[in-house]
Structure 1
Amino acid sequence: MSKPKVIHIDKIDLENDFIQLTDKNKNPFPVEVFPKIIQEIIYEANYKYQFALDYLGAGILTATSSAIGNSLKVEVKKGWNEKANLFTVIVGRPGDSKSHALSFCFKPIHIKENLLFAEYSKLLKDYEDELKSDSKTTLRKPFLKKYLINDYTPEALILHHSNNKKGLYIYVDELNGWIKNFNRYNSSGEAETYLSLWSGTTISTDRASGKSLRIKDPFIGVIGSTQISVLKSFAKDGRSSNGFMDRLLFVYPEIQKTLKWNINKVDDRILENYFSIISNLIETSIDQVEPLLIPIEENAKKHLFDWQNNRPENYLFEYERSIEIKLQQYVIRFALILQSIHYAANKNTLDKIELFAVQGGIKLFQYFYNNAIKVRQEIIKKAYVETLTELQKTILEELDDDFTTAEGLKIACKKVNDKPRISKRQFYTYLKDSKLFKKVSHGKYQKINL
C-alpha cells in the first residue's frame, strides 16, 4: 500500500481564498502582491486592530517606498530611469482609523527617526559644550537627518532633503490642510512644484542667508489622509486639469465597517518580522552615494510593454485618459517596490525586476485606477449639487430616496409663512433634472445618489 499523500495548506493562501469567495468588495486591495510574511502582518492587523486592508496594504507599500528612497531606480531603457516615490491619499470617514493605520505601517520609519534624533541630540550637546570652551572650535554643528516631514516651508523641505540625500516623505495627518497651504509662501503655484517633485526634476532655493541649495535628483513622496466630504478641495484651483490629481493614489475602501473597541494585540513575532524587513531596506543603502540602477528582465519587460501597448486609446472623458497615463508610469514604481520588499523578505534577487513584480504592479494599477475614477465621479457630482440654490438643496435633502409625484409635491410645495415654497409647475420642472432624479415608472421617482 502506498503512503498517503501529504498536502500542506498555507494559512495565508486560505485567507486569500476566503476573502475572494466571501468579500463583496468589487475593488479589493490586492494583498497577494506582497510576500507571505507581509500578507501575514496585514491580515493580523486587520483582524486585531480592524484597520482596513486597503489602508494597511497602501500604507506598507508607501512605507517601503520611503525605506528605499533614492537608493534604487528602475532602468526601463537607456535614458529612462524610474524611482519609487508615491503620492498616497488615504480616504475615509471620521473615525475610520486612517491615521492609526498609517502610524502602524510607518512605525519602523518612526523608530529610525527616534534613533537619529537621539544621535543628533548627543552630537549637538557635544558641539555646544565645545563651543563654550573654545569659540573658535573646528567642530561642525550637527544636523538632524529626517525621513518624514510635516510642517515646513519650501526652503526647509529642500534643507532637510540636502541633509538626507536619500529623500523625504511629506507625512501629513490631514492632507486637506496641506492642500490649503499651497501658495502660502509664494504665488507661483505650489501644485506645479509638486508636479516636478513627483517627476524628480532638480529643485533649488536661494536662502535669506545668501547660501543657495540645490538637489540634483530629489526624492519626495507624500502620504496622508483625508475625509470623503473634502475630496472636492483636491480638484480646486486647476488641480483637476494640470496633472496634479492624476498623480495622487487614492486609497478608498469600498466597504468600511464601523470599528469596535477590543483589547487584542498584534503578535510580537509578526510585528518584529515587519520591522526587520523595513529596517533592512533602510540600512542596506545607508552609505550608498549613487542610486543603484535595476534593469527589467526581458520576459518581464515584454509583459509590461505588451500590457501598455494594448491599453485603450479612446476614452469617454478626458480625465480617464490623464489618470491612465500617470498610473501606467506608477506600474514601474510599484514593480520596484514589490521587488525590493520580496528581496528583503525572501532574499529574492535585487539585480533585476522580475515578472512577478511587474504583474503585481499591474494589479495595483487596476486597484488605484478604479479608485481614481470613483473619486473623479464623486467630485463631479458634488460640484453639480453646489450649483443648486439653497432651496433646491433643501428640497432634495427632504425628499426620500424613493418617492411618488404626490409625495414629492407635498414636500416641495409645503407652505412657509402661508405660501408654498415653490409652485407645482416649478416642481415638475425640477423633476426633469436627470442628474438628480430617475423616473422609475409612471408617478414614481428615485433620487440619484450624489
Structure 2
Amino acid sequence: MGTPAVADAGPVWDGVPVPLKTDRLLRPFPVEVFPGWLADQVEAVAEATQTPADLAGSVALACLSTAAGGKVLVQVDRSWTESVNLYTVTALPPGSRKSPVFRAMTGPLTDAEEALRETTAEQRVEAELAARIAHARAEDLAKKAERATANPQEALADATAAAKEAAGIVVPELPRLMTDDVTPESCVSLMAAHGGRIAVLSAEGDVFATLTGTRYSAAPNLGVFLKGHAGDKLQVDRKGRESESIDRPALTLGVTTQPGTLQGLAAQPGFRDRGVLARILYSLPVNTVGSRNNEPIPVPEPTETTYCDALRTLVLLLADHDTPHHLDLTPDARQVLLDFQNWIEPRLHPQTGQLAPITDWASKLAGAVVRLAALLHLAHTFTTGYATPITADTLQAAERIGRYYLDHALAVYDLMGQSNPDLDDAREVLDWITKHCDKTGRDTFTQRDLLRAKNGRRGLNTAADLEAPLRLLTDHGYIRLRDNKPGRGRPSIAYDVHPATLQNP
C-alpha cells in the first residue's frame, strides 16, 4: 500500500473533519425554455408554495408526458424511434410542501380525465345495452340448442354465432390517465385497458417501491418499469386469468421522495444492473425550508386558468390519436443532437471519461433529450400545428434541460455512493473505525486490525484495496498516520482518530 504523509506528532488536530460527500454546483432548472403558459405557472406555483422551481418544473414535465405518452413518437432517423414518456423523481426532505405543488400542477389532468369520461358516457351506455341484449339472445339460443331434436347442427351453429357476437361487444373502460399507488400487476392491467399508457403521479415516494414490487415482495418485479419506459412489447401471462399484451407500453412516472429514499435505491436488487436507475431523470433541489417567505404571492387567477385550459386542451387533442403520431427533426435539429452525442461520447470512456461512473445513465441522455424536445415542441405548438418537425432551437432548449438533469444525476449517484466507489468504501471504513474505537476505548487503530475485520468482504481484502478509502479519510481529517517507528518484526501501520469522529460517529 502507498504510504500517506505522516502527520505531525502531538495531540493538536488542525480543524474538524470535512463531511464525506461530494458537493456539486447544481445548475437551476431552466424554466425559461417552457412556453409562457407553462413557465408562468411553474414560477407562480414555486412562489406561492415557497418551493424550488425545480419541483414544479419536473412535475410539469411529468404532466406533459402524461398528455403525450403513447400518443406521440419521434422518428430521429430510419432506425431510431424514441417514445416521449418520462420518469422524473424529485427528492426533498419532509415538510417541503411537495403535495401542494403536485395538486397545483396535476389538477388539469383530473379535469381532462373527467372530460374524456363524459365523451365516452353515451358510447358506454350503448355498448352495455348491446352487450346485455346479445348475451341474453346467446343464452336463449344455447338453451334451444340443448333441447333441439330437429336440425340440432343448425341450432348449435346459431347459438355459437350468437355467443361470438356477444363476446365481441366491448364496453369501453372509463378513461384513466393516471394513478398514484399501483402494484406492477395492476399497472399492466391499467395500461392494457387504456391504450397501453398510464401515468403514476405521486407526492409520496413509497409509490416507487410499490411500482417495482419491493414493498410486498423480496424480488422486485421490474419488467413493467423497464419495458414501460422503452416501449418494448409487454406480455403478461397469469394462472387463472387471460393474458395481457401491450405492443408499445408507455408508462409515465412523476414522483417526489426524500433524499434518504434515493440513497437506498442502488442497493435494491436489479435497480442498477438492469437499468432502472438509468431511466430516471433526477432532481435534487436546494431545500428552501428555513428561508421561506410566510407571506407569498398566490398564483394569479389568470395564470392558473391559462395553464389549466392549455394542459387540458393538449390532453384532449392528443387523446384522439388511435395510433401514435410521428414527429421528425429538421436537419439542423439533427445536427444539434449529433453535436450533443459527440460531446457525451468521450466522457463515457471507462478510463478517462468524467461520466464513466454513471455510464448507464449518461448513455441514455441523448434519448432523454429527444423526448424532452418532443414535449417542448408539443407544448409550444399544439395550438398552431404540432405536426411540424422539431426545430434546432427546441432541441437546444431540451439539451439545457438535459444538462440540468445530468448535474443532478451526478449528485444523486454521489448520494447513492455510485459515482465514487472509493467514497462508499471510505464511509464503510469510517463506520468500522468508530465502532472499533468505541469497543476498545482507544483513539487509534492499525491497518492489520482493519484487514482482519474486513477479511472476506469483497473489495476490501488487501492493503491495496484500503489505500483509496484510508487516503480519503486522511484527506478529510478523520484520521492521520501515526509516526510508525521501526521495531521488531513487521509492525502494522497505525492511525490516530480525530476526537470529533468519536464524539459524532
User: TM (normalized to structure 2)?
Assistant: 0.69
Out of 236, 258, 271, the position equivalent to 1:227 is 258
Deviations 1:125-151 (A, max 9, x none): 898899999982878645222111233
User: Where do 1:202-213 residues align within 5 Å?
Assistant: 202-208=233-239, 210-213=241-244
SS at match of 2:373: helix
Which stretch shows the higher mean deviation, 294-303 or 135-144?
135-144
- 1:446 to partner: Cα distance: 11
Match of 1:79 in 2: 79
Out of 352, 364, 367, the position equivalent to 1:326 is 364
- 1:220 to partner: Cα distance: 0.8
SS at match of 1:168: strand
Aligned equivalents of 1:46, 1:243: Cα separation in 2 = 32
Out of 303, 310, 313, the position equivalent to 1:277 is 310
CA contact (8 A) 1:437 1:446 kept: no
Match of 2:377 in 1: 339
Match of 1:154 in 2: 184
Match of 2:100 in 1: 100
Corresponding letter in the other structure for 1:63 = C
Corresponding letter in the other structure for 1:322 = D
The reply on whether 1:377 has 2:414 as its aligned counterpart is: yes
Aligned equivalents of 2:64, 2:331: Cα separation in 1 = 25
Which stretch shows the higher mean deviation, 376-385 or 233-242?
376-385
Match of 1:63 in 2: 63
Aligned equivalents of 1:270, 1:423: Cα separation in 2 = 64
Aligned equivalents of 1:447, 1:367: Cα separation in 2 = 36
SS at match of 2:402: helix
CA contact (8 A) 1:25 1:255 kept: no
Match of 1:109 in 2: 109
- 1:302 to partner: Cα distance: 1.1
CA contact (8 A) 1:144 1:163 kept: no
CA contact (8 A) 2:237 2:244 kept: yes
- 1:76 to partner: Cα distance: 0.3
Aligned equivalents of 2:273, 2:76: Cα separation in 1 = 28
Deviations 1:222-256 (A, max 9, x none): 11111112212211213223321111111111353
User: Where do 1:4-403 residues align within 5 Å?
Assistant: 26-116=26-116, 136=136, 141-165=171-195, 167-179=197-209, 182-183=212-213, 189-208=220-239, 210-236=241-267, 237-258=269-290, 259=292, 261-262=294-295, 264-311=297-344, 312-313=346-347, 314=349, 315-316=353-354, 318-344=356-382, 347=384, 349-380=386-417, 385=427, 389=431, 392=434
Which stretch shows the higher mean deviation, 352-361 or 198-207?
198-207
Corresponding letter in the other structure for 2:233 = T
Unaligned runs of 5+ in 1: 1-23, 396-411, 414-419
User: TM (normalized to structure 1)?
Assistant: 0.77
CA contact (8 A) 1:65 1:85 kept: yes
- 1:422 to partner: Cα distance: 2.1
- Tell me: higher relative CO, structure 1 or 2? Use CA pairs within 8 A at least 6 residues apart: 2
Corresponding letter in the other structure for 2:49 = Y
- 1:112 to partner: Cα distance: 2.0
Deviations 1:310-334 (A, max 9, x none): 3234225643222211112101001
RMSD: 3.9
- Kindly tell me: are residues 306 and 447 of structure 1, through their superposed partners in 2, closer, same or farther at Cα, counting changes over 3 Å? farther
Aligned equivalents of 1:355, 1:218: Cα separation in 2 = 28
Corresponding letter in the other structure for 2:58 = A
SS at match of 1:27: coil
- Kindly tell me: are residues 166 and 279 of structure 1, through their superposed partners in 2, closer, same or farther at Cα, counting changes over 3 Å? farther
Corresponding letter in the other structure for 1:164 = H
- Kindly tell me: are residues 179 and 156 of structure 1, through their superposed partners in 2, closer, same or farther at Cα, counting changes over 3 Å? closer
Deviations 1:352-403 (A, max 9, x none): 001111001111111111111101111115675356557816x9xxxxxxxx
CA contact (8 A) 1:335 1:357 kept: yes
Unaligned runs of 5+ in 2: 1-23, 138-165, 418-422, 451-468, 481-495
Number of residues of Structure 1 aligned to a counterpart in Structure 2: 403
Aligned equivalents of 2:500, 2:391: Cα separation in 1 = 49
Deviations 1:164-200 (A, max 9, x none): 2162112233334532663468887522442222110
- Kindly tell me: are residues 253 and 152 of structure 1, through their superposed partners in 2, closer, same or farther at Cα, counting changes over 3 Å? closer
Match of 1:14 in 2: none
Deviations 1:82-140 (A, max 9, x none): 11111110101101122321222111112223445677889888988999999828786
CA contact (8 A) 1:75 1:296 kept: yes
Aligned identity (percent) is: 20
Which stretch shows the higher mean deviation, 41-50 or 135-144?
135-144
Aligned equivalents of 2:446, 2:293: Cα separation in 1 = 44
Aligned equivalents of 1:372, 1:127: Cα separation in 2 = 48
- Kindly tell me: are residues 299 and 53 of structure 1, through their superposed partners in 2, closer, same or farther at Cα, counting changes over 3 Å? same
- Kindly tell me: are residues 446 and 80 of structure 1, through their superposed partners in 2, closer, same or farther at Cα, counting changes over 3 Å? farther
Rg larger in 1 or in 2?
2
CA contact (8 A) 2:198 2:251 kept: yes
CA contact (8 A) 2:426 2:470 kept: no
Corresponding letter in the other structure for 1:423 = R
Aligned equivalents of 2:126, 2:248: Cα separation in 1 = 33
Corresponding letter in the other structure for 2:107 = K
- 1:208 to partner: Cα distance: 4.9
Out of 412, 423, 441, the position equivalent to 2:442 is 423
Match of 2:153 in 1: none
- Kindly tell me: are residues 285 and 446 of structure 1, through their superposed partners in 2, closer, same or farther at Cα, counting changes over 3 Å? farther
SS at match of 2:364: helix
